[in-house]
Structure 1
């Protein structure tokens, strides 16, 4: 976007009674992604337009175009942003191998920023009608599966295969969706403690003598 175009947009925004703020490239991109997430979380994917994101972020319409170029690129970047944020705040992969650390902070993550989670579920539902959304969704959800599998492998002797990984992640995903729609973070926390208890029991079973396939004492 040229300087003259930015000036024209700024002047137009000022005439419309809303002041526009200039944001540097790095910080501006993240702010626009966060704005896109909020727009979709409130109104669904059909409400996601350049102008809606610009209005939400308090910047020019041209700045959104400059950063992303197309609506599909904006959607894919926003999805990647939400996955990164969720992985960083939910402790799916604390890296300690300690069962008690697994997914700590999950309920707080949903309470602190429900829009992040709502955005992902909106895209999952929209993918039923728009199959072109499936490839980036599959690729980015592989990040969730990978983080979950690595942490389960630290906790469980013999590691964790894909079926167990998907089972555990489905439990986490369901708890997030329930809290997002019903509230009740205390229910999430209680269910997570039960999940950790089951994982501890599984770990103990795998290390105890007499397990199927183990040599006789």
Structure 2
């Protein structure tokens, strides 16, 4: 087994977890698989996370933060600039990250004990969308929920089918709708 540079072990284990789940589903997630993917011992996985549920939860939290950071979604800029075709390119650059989250969502249907993890993931995303709308003059939690659901669907389609052009057009339409709503509210 190789060794990881000090301070990179936890992140490497989380990245390995995401990769394993993205390619083989949540049922393929074992300490052995994570250790092999990260090039470390199983004991290091246990040391960092203790149990399987904590590993899944920490990977979910990490994936949300990484997803929001990668897509540049959280910004102080008005005008929905982050909801642009460039965001599609950034999301497409790490389709495993999105696949991990969608695998978690599907598995939560079969395993209700995962619902709290999934709920916290989606609450973070919905809150980020609510802030994006508020920054642009829209204080409507239901619209934020709907806009995030549309964005989530676009990302899902991109993750599964890989059609960047269609995803960019759909995101452009969502952005135009939100801009129109912001302008109508400003009058």
The two structures share one fold, judged by TM-score above 0.5: yes
**RMSD, aligned α-carbons:** 1.4
1:91 to 72, 90, 98: 72
State whether residues 45 and 122 of structure 1, in contact with CA within 8 Å, keep that contact through their aligned partners in structure 2.
yes
Q: Which of the pair has the greater relative contact order for Cα pairs under 8 Å at 6+ separation?
A: 2
**CA separation in 2, counterparts of 1:71 and 1:114?**
23
Larger Rg: 1
Cα drift, residue 160 of structure 1: 2.4
Q: Pairwise mapping of residues 61-72 of structure 1 onto structure 2 (< 5 A)?
A: 61-72=42-53
**CA separation in 2, counterparts of 1:177 and 1:149?**
20
1:186 to 165, 168, 178: 165
182-191 vs 113-122, greater mean Cα deviation: 182-191
**CA separation in 1, counterparts of 2:32 and 2:121?**
26
Aligned residues: 187
Cα drift, residue 169 of structure 1: 0.3
Match of 1:101 in 2: 82
2:79 maps to 1:135: no
C-alpha change, 1:48 and 1:101, in structure 2 (3 Å) is: closer
Structure 1 length-normalised TM: 0.81
Structure 2 length-normalised TM: 0.94
Spell out, residue by residue over 1:16-46, the C-alpha distance to the aligned partner (whole angstroms, 9 max, x if none): xxxx122255310000000011011111111
State whether residues 31 and 45 of structure 2, in contact with CA within 8 Å, keep that contact through their aligned partners in structure 1.
yes
Match of 2:99 in 1: 118
